[in-house]
Amino acid sequence: MPTLIIHTPTLNDAQHTLFQSVGELKACNNHFRIECNHIDNEKLFELRHESELDLNLLPDGFDGKDVKLLISDMDSTLIAIECIDEIADYMNIKPQVSEITEAAMRGELDFEGSLTKRVGLLKGLNTTTLQQVYDERLQLNPGANTLIDSLKAKSIKFALVSGGFTFFTDRLKDKLGLDFTRANVLSETDGKLNGSVDGAIIGAQAKADFLHELCQKLNIQPHQVIAAGDGANDLLMMKEAGLSVAYHAKPAVQSQASTALNHRGLDAILDFLAE
């Protein structure tokens, strides 16, 4: 029987009445659940629209108790910015770079090619700018700390994988105590960016490959993984996981992910783990 997750700790009278028409409400760890006989995508869309809440159906065969790994994108998923756009702002070319970033995240441009173009525009920038971006502009998305702390308490590993840069993933790994990270390495010489990356670009396929690599390392199966992302370059990775979460994501990602969060913060991912 399908399980409907209602990602809120409280319901007003109208919402309560709305959901009672679907099935019996069960309060559970800061959210509600309904075991419903049948609910199609059209009905789910209507309920989301009427309630103005995040609602998701658990995929068939998914068991939150069996999850051992959460793998997440970084830019606009774990953190609230696109790092490359903010770096570009220090060169007064943020609009130009942001336009390419947005098109790539919507799936309109090849990610690897678009990253090569964007990084090329950063050639000559002092590497001290990266620390400025980290110190002055990088913020975690709401609920990130609660999510990470709760995963640690449940002995669930956290992997951060990004088409962005190791400068930021490495610092977040140290700050937050993350288990695994992977991202692109910005090439630099004498304190200035060369306008390229060292090694192969971490794109869509590399993210999916990282998921499988970690499954082998942890001796788990892909169905024991939750994958979260917001852009088109996350889709291959998300399709490999037992549960995929489109976090405040582009339309193409929301249409293909098994679940979506558009109102709540990252801590709402914990609702999928609860009983």
Residue 271: active-site member: no
Roughly how many angstroms between the first and final C-alpha of the chain, as a whole number? 15
Residue 75: active-site member: yes
Catalytic residue among 54, 75, 267, 271: 75
Which of helix, strand or coil describes residue 219? coil
DSSP code of residue 126: B
Query: Whole-angstrom Cα distance, residue 273 to residue 183?
Result: 27
Query: Whole-angstrom Cα distance, residue 101 to residue 106?
Result: 9
What are phi and psi for residue 151, nearest 5 degrees? -65, -40
Query: Whole-angstrom Cα distance, residue 204 to residue 233?
Result: 4
Measured in whole angstroms, how far is the alpha carbon of residue 186 from the centre of its chain? Answer: 22
Catalytic residue among 54, 73, 85, 230: 73
- Sign of the CA dihedral with 234 first, then 74, 270, and 63 last: positive
Active-site residue list:
73, 75
